[in-house]
Every structure is written in structure tokens, then in C-alpha cells.
Amino acid sequence: MKVIAVNGSPRKTWNTATLLHKALEGAESVGAQTEIVHLYDLNFKGCISCFACKRKNIKNAGHCAVQDDLKNVLEKVLAADVLLIGSPIYFGNVTAEIRAFLERLLFSNLSYNEGHRSVFQGKLASGFIYTMNVPEEIMQQVKYEENVFQPNKNMLQLLGGPSEFMISADTYQFDDYSKYEASMFNVKHKAQVKAERFPIDCQKAFDMGVRLARS
């Protein structure tokens, strides 16, 4: 069982990356081989609309033709059994890097033929971990689940496997709030969430890794 995690946060040791590592630990606990990729280390773009993946009689259907730093990552993903994705929510959606990654991964596997939703021949399970500064009640008011989480889950099911997601809300954003102009936040509340709820989210991520590695 091969599990690859894709970190769409610019930070390698903060909330999103921490939860991805916990999910990988869960997968490792049931014998999976794991790897993590940090998208912000790579030089790549989103889909360039070359349509090479839609040409007739191509040899590598489902594989993006663009040659850049993401190419090798996409090949690893398509050869894996489980894909874990992590992204903070920036301005109501995933980061630009995750959006570009999803464009390149999913459009090349989307079928334009009638009666076929996908050209992917394998079965790739997926789990999406979202982190956000806003509390859950705000998340519900702006309908993140309806507008972001569920659509991404539906798209990832193009890859033939089960897909799930988890949310870590009201996260601790800075290492020291006193250094930043951020008076709208209750620092004691943020610290309490970090101390009491974030460990629960870490356990949820670990459990997701176990569950998907067994799928």
C-alpha cells in the first residue's frame, strides 16, 4: 500500500502539515509506505489548456503532458493507492497551489466521451484535510461544505476510489499573536482551541490515514 500526501500550505510545520503527518502516521501504523510532497517547493502551473490529454490514440491517457516540477508528483499520485491532500482555506477556498494541482491531476483523467466519466483505470482512495482560521459556525454560514468540500470530494471520485474529508477549524494562526495586528481574535480562546481541540483533530487525521490505507 502506497500513500502519498500533498501539502498545499506554504508552511511545512504548522496546522495543515501537522495533520497530514498524523494521517501518514496512521497509514504507516497499518503497514503503508508513505511520502509527503510540499507543493510550495515546486515550480509549476495549473492546466494550460493544451488538450494533449484529450487527443485520440494517445499512449498515456490520464497523464498530464506538461513537463515541469509537478510532472513527477502526478506520476507518483497515479501510481499510489491513497492520496492525502491538505490545504488551508484562503479567501474562501483552497490555496492556488492545490487548485493548480487538482486541475492538472483531474482534468487529464476526465473523459470527454459519452458514457465515460473518467479514463483512470485504477482505484485511488483520497482524503482531504482542510484547515481554517474561522470557527465552525462561520464555516457553516458561508456554506464551505456545499461550495468547496463536497465538490472537491466529487471530483476526486473520478479516480475510482472512496473519498472523504475532515475539517480543522478555528486554528491557531500565529506563533505569537502579540507580534501582529490581529485584535479581532481572542488569543485566550485561540490558545484553548489549540490545546484542547487540535489534538482531537490530530487523532481524526490519524484515523483517516488508517481507514484509507485499509480501503
Mean pLDDT of 24-31: 97
- d(C-alpha 174, C-alpha 156), whole Å: 31
Mean pLDDT of 49-64: 90
- d(C-alpha 118, C-alpha 65), whole Å: 17
pLDDT range class, residue 18, cuts 50, 70, 90: very high
pLDDT one-digit tens code per residue, 72-90: 999 999 999 999 999 999 9
- d(C-alpha 108, C-alpha 60), whole Å: 10
Angle at CA 103, nearest 5°, toward 72 and 10? Answer: 70
Which CA distances in Å does 127 have to 2, 8, 40, 162? 14, 13, 20, 8
Are 172 and 15 in contact, with CB atoms under 8 Å apart?
Answer: yes
pLDDT range class, residue 57, cuts 50, 70, 90: confident
Length of the chain: 215
Mean pLDDT of 15-29: 97
- d(C-alpha 159, C-alpha 128), whole Å: 14
- d(C-alpha 147, C-alpha 100), whole Å: 18
